[in-house]
Amino acid sequence: MDQHNFLYLRRVYIDTLQEPVVYMRQDCHVCRSEGFNAMSRVRVSTGNKSIIATVNKVTDGWLSHQQAGLSEAAWRLLGASEGEVAYFSHTKPVESMSFVRGKLYGTSLTDETAQAIISDISAGLYSDVQLAAFVTACSGSRLDRDEVAALTQAMVQVGERLEWDDDRIMDKHCVGGLPGNRTTPIVVAIVAASGLKMPKTSSRAITSPAGTADTMETMAPVNLSLERMKDVVKEQGACIAWGGSVSLSPADDVLIRVERALDLDSEGQLVASVLSKKVAAGSTHVLIDIPIGPTAKVRSEAYAQRLADQLKYTGEKLGICVETCFSDGSQPVGRGVGPALEARDVLAVLRNQTDAPMDLKDRALTLAGRLLEMGGKAAPGSGREQARAYIENGEALARFMAICEAQGGFREPILGGHTKVVKAVRSGLLTFMNNRFMAKLAKLLGAPTDSGAGLDMHVRLGEKISIGQPLYTLYAESHGELAYALDFLKEHREEFRIEEEIL
Amino acid sequence: MDQHNFLYLRRVYIDTLQEPVVYMRQDCHVCRSEGFNAMSRVRVSTGNKSIIATVNKVTDGWLSHQQAGLSEAAWRLLGASEGEVAYFSHTKPVESMSFVRGKLYGTSLTDETAQAIISDISAGLYSDVQLAAFVTACSGSRLDRDEVAALTQAMVQVGERLEWDDDRIMDKHCVGGLPGNRTTPIVVAIVAASGLKMPKTSSRAITSPAGTADTMETMAPVNLSLERMKDVVKEQGACIAWGGSVSLSPADDVLIRVERALDLDSEGQLVASVLSKKVAAGSTHVLIDIPIGPTAKVRSEAYAQRLADQLKYTGEKLGICVETCFSDGSQPVGRGVGPALEARDVLAVLRNQTDAPMDLKDRALTLAGRLLEMGGKAAPGSGREQARAYIENGEALARFMAICEAQGGFREPILGGHTKVVKAVRSGLLTFMNNRFMAKLAKLLGAPTDSGAGLDMHVRLGEKISIGQPLYTLYAESHGELAYALDFLKEHREEFRIEEEIL
């Protein structure tokens, strides 16, 4: 390292999301002597820490020749302080990108190459463009089952790993694609009430309008440290935390950000993403819900079976018990789509309200029942009825509230203040509803970033509709997003089909 | 468009390369009412123009709530002026990304979908991450020959297109991978001297240390407007201009930038890139040089043949005559590697100097000879000798100088001021030289951005070397880059192999 190549750090308060950016005068001595160009990837080192950042060159006077500006992500990763000295040097090309290129040209990933790639990704060495290439190289069905297992193992190894005293640590996951399918908080409450351990880590939305972590966050804090999470589980037998905040599979969160930007899901990365977090979280018994429907993420029984096989195979290779469960994926579950709206439905079920959405309750009972059986708390075939009892006697609700309190305090979810009711323009039978369209609409309304945004469904498939009857209500936190969603809606009326009844 | 959503534009002098970025206060009324987030893609419109840009949020006071900062690329694309009013709105999701996803899931590109993708790319609708996904989806051998033809046709259609009066417009191209293989300026000079038309558009380097445009730029301006280029050709029968500056295949330059960041070449995009520019430039007779060697871009005769077939097939579909020519790709051509160093070699050949690199001259004569034959200026088999005559009688040099003058004036290329001679550490036969390594070394030295950077080779394969004999000289424009290249060199001595002579 050339000791002359230093500049004084300045926080410039620019939010570039996760990509670390360094702003440097193009005519400063460091840029000149090192030959940095715009978009060069450079190493920035202070006394204690070192990161890789992308150069944005500044060509005018708002930054001095002695300063380097850091974006918010760079500032945070480096743990920098105002005016601190930092040294700048070239980065070597990321060696593991050659394995990504190899994969593109037909060479399978091995345990070693997967490890090298994932380790470089979690160290922040990949630029967004390189991440996009890796995600794309693994997309569709491009990974075979041994590559998937290698990727999963690699993702576990770069993160923290939890250990628990119990020999049965229960977990569940739903392979998304079904708006409003927010069974997790209900299932966790029931399973924990039965005395089983269920330290649940969930992700934020990938391409959907809400992930479990997004929904849970409208009711209680989910950014728990590892220590905090352990305390909650010790006290209540369960938690519902955001997986990324405990670094269980840090590479996964980086990949998910890029998958979201591309609106791209990959079979192999789906399996690796799900199971790496389960293994890292110390889970031993995992139930995976796979909804199947023409507009769900999984559209055919055949694909569901392929996924189930991959999940079980990878589970075996990594030493955990994985079971799967296929469910109906033809329409949204519950009424709400979007973080706060889904939380409202979850609370209605837990509170045993008579107006709670029955389909959501039904799914939650099925899953909780299977877990009670897998965990040895219910005889085969009796799990579901036992799960229902925990709802009816209030024990599930009490446990859920106790978990929220332990995580930092319960709050009622707040719905967006800008609303618009969409009404039927004709009478007839509701024969089709496009899940992807409903999800897109909720996202245009601002979900999941705006937690109060989304849709509230008032009708179900097969229902007889009268002209002027409310179909669903749009919720947004800003006028602009509501207006934009309404524009979009005008062009896509056919995604919600009402047909004349044939008598 | 909501007429309240305006801000005053401010140029913030940040160079993000080609990606347009808009800097906005996260608490400004536009961000709040529209619900923009960091990395949102938004539409920015002034009275006359409209672009798509990526949002970077500013969380502190250097930008006011009434202002939106624009990166250099955004400023240029929008043709903005200081304090001008601009309106902001959401962009609709890029519809053609669904065809990119479709391709990843196994659906071939069609004429229509290729057209939709390329047209959105050239309109600047794709983010860098989306571009990376498209480039990756097409990488390796993922495109069949009809997809390649569709992509080529689409790339032609989004750009400008030149028309010439002559019915024979000559062109040549080299499928890179061979450092220093800079025959183009020599070939153009000879072909033009023969009276044939050769309006040459060249690209900048993709993954190599110098493209023809980079090299030519060290001798004369290459950023010619379409009008200027036509004038030069009218006057001199030929030009050597940067293709991108005349918008012949604007999508290609966007894709090349991402391919370069990924160090990724794609067979299909290579063909589409080459031929779209040829067709758009109005070429009718195109000769393509394909060097083959163990460390060249094309490593086997089989791959060369596949490329040649694809080039010919696409040429036919687009209505032009394409011929190919295989050449030796085992070591760098000429002596220099890097823009100015290669220009020096080109001038030595044109000036008929006795110390001119013979291999470069030989290749240039072969290609020029083939073109003279294709253009009907030489009988089959006699083209090469006729080409040689144009060098020896000085007509090629005179024509080259006239072309340079017409393009804006000739200048002698300037080599980098920081040099270091690398000497042999043992005696023996030079048995191996890794082209990719030599190219990487030249890039680490700063080429092609620093035009004076690169390598000057003093030895050839098969030569007998004495200990202490100079092997090559490193050229850099900054001390930092020279030092970095030397570090890299220490770790990779085996890429340049000298073995004991077995007697």
Min Cα distance A426 → chain B (Å) is: 28
Residue A50: give its domain's CATH number: 2.40.40.20
pLDDT value for A502: 59
Beta strands in B149-276 (DSSP E): 170-174, 198-202, 238-242
Look at residue A450 and tell me if it is in a domain.
Answer: yes
Within a domain: A329? yes
Nearest CA distance, A422 vs chain B (angstrom): 21
C-alpha torsion sign, points B248, B140, B298, B452: positive
* Residue B4, pLDDT score: 65
Question: For chain A, which residues score pLDDT lower than 70?
Answer: 1-4, 33, 177, 206, 245, 501-503
Residue where a domain terminates, one of A384, A407, A430: A407
Q: How many CB atoms lie within 10 A of CB B63?
A: 22
Q: Look up the CATH number of the domain holding residue B423.
A: 3.90.1170.30
* Residues B123, B196 within the same domain: no
B46 by Cβ neighbours in 10 Å (0-12 / 13-18 / 19+) ranks as middle
Is residue A337 helix, strand or coil? strand
Residues A102, A47 within the same domain: no
Q: Which residues of A are catalytic?
A: 265
Q: B169 with B283: CB under 8 angstroms? A: yes
pLDDT along chain B (503 residues), means of 10: 76 87 89 76 89 90 91 91 91 88 92 96 87 91 92 92 90 84 95 96 81 95 91 96 78 83 83 91 95 86 93 95 93 92 98 96 97 96 97 98 98 97 91 84 90 94 92 93 87 76 58
The contacts of residue B19 (CB under 8 Å, 6+ apart) are B54, B71, B73, B127, B128
pLDDT of residue A177: 65
CB–CB contact B132 A130 (8 Å): yes
Question: Is the domain of B195 the same as that of B228?
Answer: yes
Can you tell me the distance from the alpha carbon of B362 to that of A446, in angstroms, rounded to the nearest whole number?
Answer: 64
Residue B242 lies in a domain: yes
Min Cα distance B454 → chain A (Å) is 14
Domain co-membership, A387 together with A465: no
Task: List pLDDT tens digits, range A317-357.
Answer: 999 999 999 999 888 889 999 999 999 999 999 999 999 99
Mention every residue, 6+ apart, whose C-beta is less than 8 A from residue B322: B275, B286, B288, B311, B312, B314, B315, B316
Taking CB atoms and an 8 Å cutoff, what residues of chain B touch A478? 32-35
What is the value of ipTM here, to two decimals? Answer: 0.73
Residues B356 and B271 in one domain: yes
Say if strands A6-11 and A67-70 run parallel, antiparallel, or are unpaired.
parallel
Which residue of A14, A97, A450 is in closest CB contact with B58? A14
Using only C-alpha atoms, chain A has a radius of gyration, in whole angstroms, of 24
CB-CB under 8 Å, A263 with B101 = yes
The reply to whether residue A12 touches residue B476, judged by beta carbons under 8 angstroms, is no
Neighboring chain A residues of B258 at a CB cutoff of 8 Å: 129
Mutate to test the interface with B, among A40, A97, A135, A136 (most CBs of B within 10 A): A136
- B15 and A477 in contact by Cβ < 8 A? no
Asked if residue B269 lies in contact with residue B259, where contact means CB atoms within 8 angstroms, the answer is: yes
What is the secondary structure of A428-482 as a DSSP string? EEEEEE-HHHHHHHHHHTTTTTSTT-EEEE---TT-EE-TT-EEEEEEESSHHHH
Look up tokens 């209680």; give the residue: A220
| Residue that the structure tokens 């047909």 belong to | A499
Catalytic residue among B120, B252, B265, B289: B265
The reply to whether residue A130 touches residue B128, judged by beta carbons under 8 angstroms, is no
The answer to whether residue A250 sits within a structural domain is no
The reported pLDDT for the residue numbered B1 is: 44
Instruction: Return the number of other C-beta atoms located less than 10 Å from residue A4's C-beta.
Output: 11
Examine the fold and report which residue of B368, B388, B407 is the final residue of a domain before the chain moves on. Answer: B407
Whether residue A471 is contained in a domain is answered as: yes
Tell me whether residue B252 is one of the annotated catalytic residues.
Answer: no
Same domain for A377 and A272, yes or no, is yes
Residues of A in contact with B105 (CB under 8 A): 139-140
Using CB atoms, which residue from A35, A56, A483 is nearest to B477?
A35
Query: What pLDDT is stored for residue B106 in this prediction?
Result: 87
pTM flag (> 0.80): no
Tell me: do A101 and A86 sit in the same domain: no
- Best of B56, B297, B491 to disrupt the A interface (most A CBs within 10 Å) is B56
Q: Indicate whether B141 and B54 sit together in one domain.
A: no
Residues B134 and B207 in one domain: no
pLDDT given at position A38 = 77
| Long-range Cβ contacts of A301-307 (<8 Å, 24+ apart) | A301/A326, A306/A267, A307/A175, A307/A267, A307/A270, A307/A271
Domain presence at residue A254? no
> Nearest by CB to A136, which of B61, B104, B484?
B104
In a domain, B164, yes or no: no
Cα nearest neighbour of A59 on chain B:
B13
pLDDT of residue B177: 65
What's the structural domain count of chain A?
Answer: 4
Chain B: nearest CA to A497, how far in angstroms?
22
Chain A partners within 8 Å of B268 (Cβ): none
CA distance B265 to B207: 8
- Render pLDDT for A346-395 as a digit per residue (tens, 0 to 9): 999 999 999 999 999 999 999 999 999 999 999 999 999 999 999 999 99
CATH code of the domain covering residue B376: 3.40.1030.10
Please, which residues bridge with residue B169 across strands?
Answer: B197
Which residues on chain B are in Cβ contact (under 8 Å) with A56?
Answer: 14-16, 71
In a domain, residue B289? The reply is yes
Domain hosting residue B333, numbered range:
170-246+260-407
User: Do B77 and B206 reside in the same domain of the chain?
Assistant: no
Residues A308 and A291 both lie in one domain: yes
Mutation target to probe the B interface, by most B beta carbons within 10 A, among A15, A89, A98, A450 is A15
Q: Can you read off the two tokens belonging to residue A170?
A: 């229960």
CA distance A298 to chain B (A): 14
Q: Which residues of chain B does A262 touch, with a Cβ-Cβ cutoff of 8 Å? A: 97, 101, 129-130, 133
DSSP A266: B
| Chain A residues touching residue B131 (CB < 8 angstroms) | 129
Among A90, A125, A149, residue at a domain's last position: A90
- Identify which of A26, A90, A135 has the shortest CB distance to residue B15: A26
> How much is the pLDDT for B9?
96
Residue A326 carries which side chain, given as an amino acid letter?
A: F
Which alpha helices (H) appear in A338-394, and where do they start and end?
339-350, 358-374, 383-392
The alpha-carbon gap from B137 to the nearest alpha carbon of chain A, in Å, equals 7
Same domain, residue pair A101 and A230: no
Rounded (10°) CA dihedral B137, B142, B146, B150? 20
Q: Which residues contact B423 (CB under 8 A, 6 or more apart)?
A: B468, B469, B470, B471
